Structure 1
C-alpha cells in the first residue's frame, strides 16, 4: 500500500510517504511557513521513493482540530492532489495522530491529548490503548481546561502543547496515580499515514470534495472565512 500524508494543523509542518509499511517523512517546526514547505516536502518524498502520484493508493491528511489556517491548508492541498488523479482520501483526526505517538508506552494508561487552542481553551480528547491501538473514549472538544470532566485515579499520559500552556490547570485536573507528560510533542504526518491504513482497510475514505476540515470552534472559522 502506498499512502501520502500531510499534517499542518499546528506550527509543525510535515509530510510522510508510506510504502509497504515503510515510512519516510519530513518534519519542520516553522510557524507561518507551511505554504512554502508542504509541497516541497511532498515532492522530495515522492522523488526519494521513486513514486508518482497516480501510483498512490490513497491520500491522508490531518483534518484538525488545530489552527484554522493550517487545517484549511492541509485540506486544500489534499483536495487538489486527490482531484488531480482521482484518489480516495483518509481524513485523520489531528488529536488522534498526536495520541498515537504514545502507542509504545500507553498500555494500561489513559492518554489525554491537548493542543493549545488559544483564547483560554484547549483542543482535547481522551484515549485508551486497546489491543495495541489508540481509541478515543471521549468526544473531541474545544474547552477551558478547568471545565474538563475526567475519571480520576488512572495512570495517564498527557501529550501536546496544551500541557505546556496550561500545565498547572491540567496537572491539577488529572489527579493520576502516575502522570507522564509529553508537552513538546506536535502532530506528525508519520502517524497520520499509519492511522490512515486502518481507515482505508475499513472503507472509511472519502472523495476529494468530501475531504473536509474539522475546526470545532465554528465561530472563528466562519469569521475568518468571511475575511
Structure 2
C-alpha cells in the first residue's frame, strides 16, 4: 500500500520485533509498505518483503538516505532478526542507521489513528513486572519518552500514573489498564487504545525527525532491548 508524505527523502524502515513483520519505504514523497502477521519464522517473512519493496516492477532501489529499524523492547529472537537485517542493509548501502524504540512506534501509531499526543504504554515483561513508558509529542512532531522506558512492578506504575493529569491514551496489558482506569484520579482522563501490531510505516515520521536532528546510530553502538 502507499500514502503520501511531504518529505523528499528515501528512507527504509523495518520491524519484526514481536508478532508481526513490516517494511516501509519513503520515496518520492510517498510511503510504500508491506505488513504480515507472524508468531514465528520472521526471517521467512521479512526478507521477501525487503526484496519486494526495494524492487518495484523493473525498478531496483540502489540508493537510500537512511535505514530505520526497531531496537525493541521486543521478543529476543525477532528483535535480533530486525537488527541483523538492518546491519546487513547497512553493509550494502553504507547510509545512516536510525534506531527506534518499539514504544515510540506505538505512540506514533496512536497519533496517526487518534491524534493523541500523550501516550502511556504498558507491556507485561515478567511475573511481577511490566515494561512501561510515557511518551509526549510536541508541536514540531518530535516525540520524547525513551528515557522513561523501564521494567518496574505494577504498584509503582499505578503510583506514577496517578501523578499525571490531563488527557492520555493508554495501551498494552488490558487487565492492568482496567485496574488503572477504575482507580484513577478525577483530573486524569484515559483513552484505552487497543494496540495489536507494530507497523513500519509509523517509523517513517520518527526517522525523518531523527535524521533531521542527526540522531543516528553507529553500527557498533546498536543496543537491543528485550521484553523477556
TM beyond 0.5: yes
Give the Å deviation of 1:4: 1.0
Counterpart of 2:165 (choices 149, 153, 167) is 153
Pairs within 5 Å for 1:106-125 = 106-107=115-116, 110-125=118-133
Counterpart of 2:177 (choices 164, 167, 180) is 167
Greater shift, 90-99 or 117-126, is seen at: 117-126
Partner Cα distance (1:106, 1:29) in 2 = 25
Number of positions where the alignment pairs a residue of Structure 1 with one of Structure 2: 213
Residue 148 of structure 2 is matched in structure 1 by: 139
- Taking only aligned residues, the RMSD between alpha carbons, in angstroms, comes to 2.3
CA contact (8 A) 1:95 1:187 kept: no
Partner Cα distance (1:121, 1:169) in 2 = 15
Instruction: Please say if 1:211 is aligned against 2:213.
Output: no
TM-score by length of 2: 0.82
Where does structure 2 lack aligned partners over 5 or more consecutive residues? 1-8
TM-score by length of 1: 0.82
Partner Cα distance (2:91, 2:215) in 1 = 18
Partner Cα distance (1:185, 1:65) in 2 = 15
Residue 4 of structure 2 is matched in structure 1 by: none
Partner Cα distance (1:163, 1:102) in 2 = 16
Greater shift, 120-129 or 4-13, is seen at: 120-129
